[in-house]
Amino acid sequence: MQYLLLCCLLPNVFSFAFTIGSDFLSNPPVSFHSQPISSSTSLHQTTIPNNMADSDFVNATENGEIPTFGKSDKAKATDFANYFCSYAQLYHQKQMLADHNRMAAYHAAIMGNADVFKDKVVMDVGTGSGILAAWAAQAGARRVYAIEYTDMAKHARSVMEANNLADIVTVIQGAVEDVELPIKEDGLVTEDEESNENQVVDIIISEWMGYFLLRESMLDSLIRARDKFLKPKTGLMFPSHTNMYLAPIYDEDERQLSNQDYNGAMGEWSQFAETTKSTYGVDMSVLTQAYEREQREYFLLSSRWAELPRNAIMAPPALVKRLDMITCTLEDSKGIMAGDEDACFDFDIDTRNVSAQSISGFAGWFDADFKSRTDEAGAKAPKLSNPSYLTTGPEAGYTHWGQQVFHAMSSIPLINGETTRIQGSLEMTRSKDNARLYNCRIRYVSSRRKSEEGKDGKVLMKGSPVEHVYQIP
């Protein structure tokens, strides 16, 4: 899913497009929380029962989880205003449905494995306009429960009726964390006597992915639905596995444009401060440092959506996180932590293999597999004879997810006949004030050696350590 900001925020409370708290850059909490962009708000936070943040603006629980799981009406209202309301717009649904790479991957996964869906009980988490649920029914599912939190549920019901699927697909409006299935009424059964009475679903399908996979934090809802409803030994998740990648890129025109925008904003401020002082007799220059910080975060330390060409990638991407949708946990969904198995990267950029003269920064994207279970407990689960695959990398062409680009503050020059090595790590953690948004901390050191030297050959130059925190708006 793609996140879209629309003018559907609560009246007199939200007239902004997401605050990415700047405290993180100056006062990072121990667990590395905080985040994204636009006008700032005044936060007053106290603790109330159920560990929910009692604030008009905070969109996270005290434990950094999304507010839909809990009993704070205020937090849920904030979450709806910040996140869900955009998905109630047909314009937004159309944008996703017009993403043909997305559509083709899901269609192939479902219709190409109709034997797996035949006579099964399916749940579609976040059904939107209902197309995945419709495909599941067309593939032969016995019952499909399409869960949708927003009023888009009304449109989904219309789609089912128009396609003569209403007798198979039941659209349920509500948060998946709160819904109950009509187990007795529909004759739903568990796979064995050991299972929880709610574990009656054979397949969960969902298009839950956000920018750089995790942004939006819908994975939390999916995990809770899986643990509550999916048959543990034979159940299937669509997609079944996801991976996150990071690679060095050449994107110098855009990087320089961001710098020009930043410099232009600071030049305008300088003129503003001088005019205010000379015309109105008030010196505003005391605010220059704070204004500079705002502009730096917005123009230079915010990731950018991009549709990069293949040749922008300067080295094979590093796999920085992998998720098995059957076994991943709520802790896994919180991001990439320092010390995680795949959090480090080591790139070699050989000038004999690239035409660019510098490295502009990094790009992140994800892919998703629709294939058979690989966990031990799922040995008896149905096998997919026709696996499907979705990638949002540059090789895919357009997807509405695109890639997230993290431009370097200054480019890294490449020298003919030499190989530049970039060693570092990535952390990606939820914003303190909005659990659906993330910050990325990228640390790296660059060095150069003669291209004929091995990876650990004689170092000709080694730069100082670089560290930046980017917000994913």
Torsion of CA 375, 380, 382, 385, to 10 degrees: 70
| pTM, full prediction | 0.84
Lowest mean pLDDT among 21-35, 349-363, 450-464: 21-35
State yes or no: is 191 an active-site residue.
no
pLDDT tens digit sequence for 348-386: 999 999 999 999 999 999 999 999 999 999 999 999 999
pLDDT, tens only, 70-104: 556 665 555 544 555 555 677 777 888 899 999 99
Q: pLDDT of 161-219, one tens digit each?
A: 999 999 999 999 999 999 999 999 999 999 999 999 999 999 999 999 999 999 987 99
* pLDDT at 57 exceeding the cut of 50: no
* Marked catalytic residue, from 148, 216, 297, 418: 216
* Amino acid letter for position 371: K
Residue type, 58: V
Q: What is the pLDDT of residues 113-133, one digit of tens each?
A: 999 999 999 999 999 999 999
Annotated catalytic residue, options 65, 148, 207, 297:
207
To the query of whether residue 194 is one of the catalytic residues in this protein, the response is no
